[in-house]
Chain A
Amino acid sequence: AQSVTQLGSHVSVSEGALVLLRCNYSSSVPPYLFWYVQYPNQGLQLLLKYTSAATLVKGINGFEAEFKKSETSFHLTKPSAHMSDAAEYFCAVSDYYQLIWGAGTKLIIKP
């Protein structure tokens, strides 16, 4: 069965600093992996997805993620944090008809 672990329920970075949000997965089949962002009182927006093509995936808003099979990881990064990046971030793995979600990581940006 598929599962997702997001390390750190809260991550705090200074504006302009590197953002690193960690996601590890477990999957019995080649995984399809997703990162979603949720701003307060909003729905979820797809940031990027990995579906067995290039291992380095670029998404919206300057985010990217690298699929590392040997580490079963799909960490999300952004070189320079902006105040507008403050939100909840969810990593998910696809289990045919549904997404298996991580618990989420709240990204806090310090001025």
Chain B
Amino acid sequence: DTEVTQTPKHLVMGMTNKKSLKCEQHMGHRAMYWYKQKAKKPPELMFVYSYEKLSINESVPSRFSPECPNSSLLNLHLHALQPEDSALYLCASSQEEGRDYGYTFGSGTRLTVV
């Protein structure tokens, strides 16, 4: 299995809703990442988990809450989002956290906040 699987593929939520994005990989990768990508822009790093522990938080607002229940799963809990949070949310994994490992990306969740 060489994939990163993200669910759901599309999500529409109101500003008062609570929802979660899910990411799963079975490649034995020990680093997992959440990225946000706006249209026609490169991805922006949000969070890094290494060995199931939060390693990096790129000053992301608290309305985004990551969780890593085990080495294969990564969740992103969403609460009280704003319309400007609408974007493609990408999960990625790599063998380890470090410079020389390429990332494997999922197909993303297209989030629309109304």
The interface of chain A, by Cβ under 8 A from chain B, is 32, 34, 36, 41-46, 49, 51, 88, 90, 92, 94-99, 101-104
Q: Is the CB of B56 within 8 A of A97?
A: yes
Note all chain A residues with C-beta closer than 8 A to B107. 42-43
Give 10 A-B contacts (CB < 8 Å), ordered by A residue: A32-B100, A42-B108, A45-B105, A46-B104, A51-B100, A94-B99, A96-B98, A98-B48, A99-B45, A101-B43
Using a CB–CB cutoff of 8 Å, the interface residues on chain B facing chain A are: 4, 6, 33, 40-43, 45, 48, 55-56, 90, 92, 97-100, 102-108, 110
Q: Is the CB of B106 within 8 A of A43?
A: yes
Determine which of A36, A46, A90, A96 lies in contact with B99 in the assembled complex, contact meaning CB atoms within 8 Å.
Answer: A96
A46 — which chain B residues lie within 8 A by C-beta? Answer: 102-104
For the A-B complex, the count of residue pairs with Cβ-Cβ distances under 8 Å equals: 52
Q: A95 to B105, alpha carbons, bound, how many Å?
A: 18
Question: Contacts A96-B98, A96-B99, A97-B97; is A41 near B90 (CB within 8 Å)?
Answer: no
Whether B99 and A32, one on each chain, are in contact in the complex, defined by CB atoms closer than 8 angstroms, is yes
Instruction: Return chain B residues, CB-CB under 8 Å to A96.
Output: 98-99
**In the complex, what residue of chain B is closest to A47 when comparing beta carbons?**
B102
* B56 lies within 8 A of A98 (CB): yes
Given A45-B105, A104-B40, the answer on whether A97 and B100 have CB atoms closer than 8 Å is: no
For residue B56, which residue of chain A has the nearest CB? A97
Chain A neighbourhood of B40, CB < 8 A: 88, 104
Residue of B nearest to A90 (CB): B42
Given A97-B56, A102-B42, A104-B41, A44 contacting B90 (CB threshold 8 A): yes
B90 CB to nearest A CB, Å = 6
Complexed CA–CA distance, A39 and B99 (Å): 25
Tell which of A36, A41, A44 has the most Cβ of chain B within 10 Å.
A44
Asked if B99 and A95 sit within 8 Å, CB to CB, the answer is yes
